[in-house]
Amino acid sequence: MFKNLPFFPEAASAQAGQVDAVFFFLVAVTAFFSVLIAALVTIFAIKYKRKHDDEIGEPIHGSLVLELLWTVIPFAITMVMFGWGAKVFFDLTRPPIGATEIYIVGKQWMWKAQHMGGMREINELHIPVGQPIKLIMGSEDVIHSFYIPAFRVKSDVIPGRYNTMWFTATKAGTYHLFCAEYCGTKHSGMIGSIIAMEPAAFEAWMGGGKAEDSPVAAGAKLFQDLACITCHRTGAQGRGPILTNVFGHEVELQGGAKVIADEAYVRESILNPQAKVVNGFQPVMPTFQGLVTEEQLLQLIAYVRSLSQPGAAPAAEGTNSATPPQGKN
Amino acid sequence: MSAAHVAPKSLYYTIFAALLVGTALTVGVAFIDLGAFNNVAMLTIACIKALLVILFFMHVRWGTRLTWLVVASGFFWLILMFSITMVDFSTRGWVQGTPK
Amino acid sequence: METLNYLNNGHGLASWLLTKDHKRIALLYLVSITAFFGLGGFFAMLIRLELLTPAGDLLTSETYNKVFTMHGVVMVFFFLIPSIPAVLGNFLVPIMIGAKDLAFPRINLLSWYIYVLGGLFTLTAALTGGVDTGWTFYTPYSTAAANSNVMTAALGIFITGFSSILTGLNFIVTIHRMRAPGMTWFRLPLFIWSHYATSLVMILGTPVIAITVLMVAAERALHLGIFDPALGGDPVLFQHLFWFYSHPAVYIMILPAMGVISELVQTFSRKNIFGYSFVAFSSLAIAVVGFLVWGHHLFVAGQSTYAGLLFSLLSFVVAIPSAIKVFNWSATMYKGSVSWQSPMLYAIGFIGLFTIGGLTGVMLATMGIDIHVHDTYFVVAHFHYIMVGGAIMGYMGGLHYWWPKMTGRLYNEPAAKTAAFLIFIGFNLTFFPQFVAGYLGMPRRYHAYPPEMQVWNVMSSAGASILAIGYALPLFYLLWSLYRGAAAGADPWGAKGLEWEIPSPPPTENFGTTPIITHGTHQYAPSKEVGIV
Amino acid sequence: MSDAHAEHYPGPLHSPPVKIGGEGPAHGHEDGHVHHPKLQHHFDDMAQQAEASTLGMWVFLVTEIMFFGGLFTAYLVYRAHSPEAFQEASAHLSIGWGGFNTAVLIFSSLTMALAVRAAQTSESAKTQVTWIAITMFLGLVFLGVKGIEYTEKFRDHIVPGPYFDASRWEHPAGVEMFYSLYFCMTGLHALHMIIGLGIMTWLAIKAWQRSFNADYYTPVEVAGLYWHFVDIVWIFLFPLLYLIGRHYHHG
């Protein structure tokens, strides 16, 4: 029944080694102190076992030196743990520039993934080995948590915002994907597979997708269908800011405050347009809350973002790319 | 108990007047645009008013050191809850990966 | 001729249900928390039975989710939090400081009724369809998705919270205002120090969970939208408010147990504690710093990284006073006269298990590790080491230690030793495998799990059945002692403390005249310093 | 430090550190002098009993601070997140009603303080009851005004939930959040007022029965602490809810 006794999880990402190293250090400290205390207590219990009913212990009130020792030494050890653990955490939460991005949407009870190349998957995620992958994740309903034990990474997926995580797979193979935050009846069924492939195999797999299905293309289509284009353009009808070269740059708002136009900002501007209006524009944009799904939001963001990339296609017909970007709404 | 301090009525009337003045002042300040200073002024006045009530109407002015300690710890914990929660909300997004 | 004591001073149901005697109220609590412990244990057995096999084949997913929710709610709010304070604390706090009762006897009785009322709400929620949110009630699942019994359960927790607040309030006022002449702060038994610290947490933390569950209820019932993302609400704010109480609540469970262990180690080593003031102040330090660490539950929840850093740092700081206590307990046994009676077995078990529980807590405070083990069985194992291996071991040890005082009877010692061993072995077999399963990546609250993790779950379930026998045994020999146990006498252990100088069971007024205290407890011999100072 | 109690060690090992009277468990108060009828059996004297009660109320008020604190934390977080929406929503509240109610509550705090003083100085039952009755009347006025304000909110569909009218606001989401908090905070405050009125009713009856005088007025004192606390909460609610949008300009 239990042919191979699994004792330690497979380590299949560049990060796993880092996490395991801190873990081993802490296991060693834990084992040392647990054994030390257990040994002291056992030895004292045996050595000083009561010999007769009237026996009393030797009255010792304490020792300042000992108290200081067992305050300072554990404190010093924990500070090492803190520093090391925090460093690993920072490495695990800061994606490198240029990581391949994949959009993830969690909903009760499945994981949906959208590759930039157009492939879409449910409860499966194909990734290339050796390439840093950054996941941008949102939820359609309640809080979920994207967890790949073999990669030692996890991040909650929260409705109303985007969380990111990143990893670099080092070994081809199929790994568990779990939802780690309790999300309702079929929580334990919200599982899937991470399929790490050699780059060549991955390219072949990606070749199965069509470019017009890419999030950027889908977002461009939505930009037309939802009539965003009627305002976000130059000319008299251009009541909204032009979106070329906006993403990733600073935007000046009414009242002089400034924000970086990132995923969260674009999302907020679509769902709650009056929240942060760009300086020089009227707050006339209607909300799209309830009109676009989480996946469509991600597509729109992908499109807005593509307008800021070198060699980006013009935003839409009617846009004069020579116009200096004024921000967006 | 019978040894407890009995404050003169005139003191209570003075505190009452001060509280009314404070209220009028808060309302007045609210109509002047002082930017962020509006909040500071408003909360300062509110804190002074609360302090007057605590010290005189609630007799803490004549209370034991323990009473002072209990009152102070209540507000201390409140501020602790505010400030540590805000550590999260005010530093969100500082370590997001920068979009290229 | 039977002397008058608190047990035979008045008969009939009304003399119990309307009593204002802290000792009788302690027994009312003892009976009710034992009932809830049985209920919570029943849910635990269902969980362990279901997890014997990887497939979810015993219960439906929905039932399983309700079962672990009720297990958590019942055990946390209706057993662990009231256990030591409301039973042992209620009985002993006035006696240990030389008072006739708590400062507010009527409020004390009221707190028990409030507790029962809250319990009835929760039972109603369980019986009329159950709640499936987990004991953490995370939004937006609890406000938007889960079934409507959330309201009933939330109200149950809200109500029970006030019972906890009133108990804490009573203890604080009693310890400040009711100490006998000569009972200075540094002569107080350490049990009192730890209950004082516990009470601080109860009064400062509990109101926050009360208002938080009230906001969840308002969001469900009145459609107010405080945590609703559509209105710009933040579900993470709920987690902040929830853990602002619920992390310190862990200290409500463990601090009284630490107080019990301090008493046990001294009595059964016939020695005063090593480093009294360090042990006393470490309780306060845990209570205060314990309020600043709640965000370590939110490392992967989208909390800002810098807030995470702060919370991680403070979490390591709170580990230090716990370490100080463990070292001082061990040092107290050095050159003692160590008795192996059953309460001491629990104390020794506590020290070992709490060390493991505490150190695995340090692992979880390490951000780099937590990102992997958060919300896995590693966390489940860790907090059971603290709550079961710590708090319940302390409770069992204390119950055995003071049982002769409470009832005037001695229980069967071999049976008690057997139970202590069974609990220790059963506990470790149940929860140690969960550390391994957790690091392997088994998420908590999973109804079905990958087959390769079965071996650890089978071990865990096997351990649970031993644990169940261990917990069932005391029910028999303790009840048996009530009828057949030998008379205990005032001080069956040769212990030093005010409670051992009055008859067992104590008279209703505790003390005929107010005692005058001349020195601290557990003075078995004239003191002398250890060589190096 | 660790030898804090060593110096008090009396010497012989088993010397009992307490002197327990020989007369047995029952009735500890047979030591001669007359006790106040309101003295409970487990207190030594009235001073200890009064100190315990006021300390108990203060500790309870600390829990109340934390209770409201949860809501204030939510307010702080969301106001920092959407300041404009909060200003827009606040501008809709009636500063007249709010200011009037503030004055009413402050006045009631004064009359409450005078009620306590009347008991402290053993004034006549009539005087005591009068101050308590005026305090209660002011409390009712406050609740009445609150009722008028709530009615307006229902009429104008600015109560959060399915009937919330989003169309009239520039920042509907933030405004709805503001009003969620507004109803939670003022509702909870009003609930405390209602509980306070219940306590005051009991107090008035007791005062009418001449229960309170310079030797025993703890219930009035303790109820007063509670009443003043509820006033303090409003002292903060008024500027935070009513006054933040006064110079808000529609964009």
Q: Chain C within 8 Å of A324 (Cβ-Cβ)?
A: no
For all residues of chain A together, what is the average pLDDT? 85
Averaging pLDDT over each range in A95-99, D60-64, D242-246, which range is the top one? D60-64
Q: Is D39 helix (H, G, I), strand (E, B) or coil?
A: coil
> Does a structural domain hold residue B99?
no
**Which token pair is C221?**
């019932």
Residues B37 and B86 in one domain: no
**pLDDT-based confidence at residue B94 (cuts at 50, 70, 90):** low
For all residues of chain C together, what is the average pLDDT? 93
Residue A311 has a pLDDT of 54
Q: How far is D47 from chain B, CA to nearest CA, in Å? A: 5
Mutate to test the interface with C, among D1, D15, D42 (most CBs of C within 10 A): D42
What's the first-to-final CA gap in chain B, in angstroms? 72
* Separation of alpha carbons D23 and C95, rounded Å: 18
Rounded to two decimals, what is the model's pTM? Answer: 0.90
> Does a structural domain hold residue C524?
no
Q: Chain C within 8 Å of D39 (Cβ-Cβ)?
A: no
Does the distance separating the beta carbons of B96 and A262 come in below 8 Å?
yes
- Tell me, what CATH number does D214's domain have? 1.20.120.80
Q: What is the mean pLDDT of residues C128-154?
A: 88
Q: What is the mean pLDDT of residues D23-39?
A: 53
* Residues of B whose CB is below 8 A from C304: 87-95
Residue C191 has a pLDDT of 97
Of the candidates C99, B69, C166, B2, the residue with the CA atom closest to the CA atom of residue D218: B2
The H-or-E segment that residue A155 falls in is: strand A153-157
Q: How far is A181 from chain D, CA to nearest CA, in Å? A: 23
* Separation of alpha carbons C204 and C117, rounded Å: 22
DSSP class of residue C388 equals I
> Does a structural domain hold residue B97?
no
Q: Chain A within 8 Å of B100 (Cβ-Cβ)?
A: yes
Higher pLDDT, residue D251 or D246: D246
For each of the domains in chain A, give its residue range(s) and CATH number, in order of start.
8-43+59-209 (2.60.40.420), 214-306 (1.10.760.10)
Would you say residue C273 has pLDDT above 60?
A: yes
- Size of the A and D interface in Cβ pairs below 8 Å: 29
Domain that holds residue C41: 13-501
Q: Which residue of C has its CA nearest to A86?
A: C367
Residue C94 has a pLDDT of 96
Of the candidates C139, C291, C264, the residue with the CA atom closest to the CA atom of residue C203: C291
Q: What is the mean pLDDT of residues C423-431?
A: 96
Q: Is C47 helix (H, G, I), strand (E, B) or coil?
A: helix
Domain count for chain C, please give it. Answer: 1
Residues B73 and B49 in one domain: no
* Pairing relationship of beta strands A144-148 and A173-179 according to DSSP bridges: antiparallel
**Which token pair is A294?**
């989480």
> Does a structural domain hold residue D23?
no
> Does a structural domain hold residue C522?
no
Sheet with strand A120-122: strands edge to edge = A120-122, A110-115, A100-107, A132-139, A163-168
Q: How far is A85 from chain C, CA to nearest CA, in Å? A: 4
Chains meeting D at 3+ CB pairs closer than 8 A?
A, B, C
Mean pLDDT lowest among A86-95, A294-303, C236-245: A294-303
DSSP class of residue A147 equals E
Does the distance separating the beta carbons of D42 and C225 come in below 8 Å?
no
Mutate to test the interface with C, among B67, B88, B91 (most CBs of C within 10 A): B88
> What residues of chain D, 76 to 135, have a C-beta less than 8 Å from chain C?
77-78, 81-82, 85
Q: How far is B89 from chain C, CA to nearest CA, in Å? A: 7
Residues B37 and B69 in one domain: no
Domain that holds residue D166: 46-242
Q: How far is D178 from chain C, CA to nearest CA, in Å? A: 9
Q: Give pLDDT tens digits for D68-119.
A: 999 999 999 999 988 888 999 999 999 999 999 999 999 999 999 999 999 9
- Spell out the alpha helix ranges (H) of C74-184: 81-82, 90-96, 105-127, 149-177
Q: How far is C381 from chain A, CA to nearest CA, in Å? A: 15
* Residues of D whose CB is below 8 A from A62: 1-3
Does the distance separating the beta carbons of C271 and A57 come in below 8 Å?
yes
* Residues of D whose CB is below 8 A from A64: 1-2
Does the distance separating the beta carbons of A41 and C330 come in below 8 Å?
yes
Mean pLDDT lowest among C269-273, C306-310, D165-169, D210-214: D165-169
> What residues of chain B, 60 to 79, have a C-beta less than 8 Å from chain C?
66, 73, 77
Domain count for chain B, please give it. Answer: 2
Does the distance separating the beta carbons of A61 and D3 come in below 8 Å?
yes
Does the distance separating the beta carbons of B88 and C298 come in below 8 Å?
yes
Q: Chain A within 8 Å of B5 (Cβ-Cβ)?
A: no
Q: How far is B84 from chain A, CA to nearest CA, in Å? A: 19
Residue A148 has a pLDDT of 96
- Nearest-by-Cβ selection for D231 from B33, B53, B64: B53
**pLDDT-based confidence at residue A319 (cuts at 50, 70, 90):** very low
* Residues of C whose CB is below 8 A from B87: 304, 306-307, 310
Number of helices (H), then strands (E), belonging to chain C: the values are: 17, 0
Residues B84 and B42 in one domain: no
Residues in CB range of C462: below 8 A, 6 or more apart: C429
- Tell me, what CATH number does C364's domain have? 1.20.210.10
Residues B31 and B74 in one domain: no
Q: Chain C within 8 Å of A3 (Cβ-Cβ)?
A: no
Residues B71 and B40 in one domain: no
Among residues of chain A, what percentage have pLDDT more than 70?
A: 90
Residues B42 and B79 in one domain: no
Higher pLDDT, residue C516 or A328: C516
Domain count for chain D, please give it. Answer: 1
Residue C163 has a pLDDT of 96
Mutate to test the interface with B, among D39, D53, D72, D110 (most CBs of B within 10 A): D110
> Does a structural domain hold residue D65?
yes
Higher pLDDT, residue C323 or C129: C323
Q: Which residue of A has its CA nearest to D250?
A: A283
Q: Chain B within 8 Å of C369 (Cβ-Cβ)?
A: no
- Nearest-by-Cβ selection for B97 from A164, A247, A305: A164
Furthest-apart CA pair in chain C: how many Å? 73
Q: Give pLDDT tens digits for D224-240.
A: 999 999 999 999 999 99
Q: Give pLDDT tens digits for C95-116.
A: 999 999 999 999 999 999 999 9
> Does a structural domain hold residue D2?
no
Domain that holds residue B82: 63-91
Q: What is the mean pLDDT of residues D120-131?
A: 94
What is the amino acid identity at position C161?
G
Mean pLDDT lowest among A221-230, C408-417, D54-63: A221-230
> Does a structural domain hold residue D172?
yes
For all residues of chain B together, what is the average pLDDT? 87
* Separation of alpha carbons D50 and D55, rounded Å: 8
Of the candidates A297, A7, A307, D78, the residue with the CA atom closest to the CA atom of residue C227: D78
> Does a structural domain hold residue C155?
yes
How many CB atoms neighbour CB C441 within 10 A? 28
**Bridge partners for A133 per DSSP:** A100, A167
> Does a structural domain hold residue D248?
no
Residue C339 has a pLDDT of 94
Chains meeting B at 3+ CB pairs closer than 8 A?
A, C, D
Residues B8 and B51 in one domain: yes
Would you say residue C291 has pLDDT above 90?
A: yes
Q: Chain C within 8 Å of D41 (Cβ-Cβ)?
A: yes
**pLDDT-based confidence at residue D22 (cuts at 50, 70, 90):** very low
**Bridge partners for A175 per DSSP:** A194
Does the distance separating the beta carbons of A97 and B98 come in below 8 Å?
yes
Q: Which residue of B has its CA nearest to D244?
A: B30
Q: How far is B81 from chain C, CA to nearest CA, in Å? A: 8
Chains meeting A at 3+ CB pairs closer than 8 A?
B, C, D
Q: How far is A153 from chain C, CA to nearest CA, in Å? A: 6
**pLDDT-based confidence at residue D6 (cuts at 50, 70, 90):** very low
- Using a 10 angstrom Cβ sphere, with 0-12 exposed, 13-18 middle and 19 or more buried, the burial of residue D194 is exposed
**Bridge partners for A115 per DSSP:** A102
Would you say residue D196 has pLDDT above 80?
A: yes
Q: Give pLDDT tens digits for B1-11.
A: 444 678 899 99
> Does a structural domain hold residue B96?
no
Among residues of chain C, what percentage have pLDDT more than 90?
A: 85
Q: What is the mean pLDDT of residues B55-61?
A: 93
Residues B7 and B42 in one domain: yes
* Separation of alpha carbons C115 and C165, rounded Å: 11
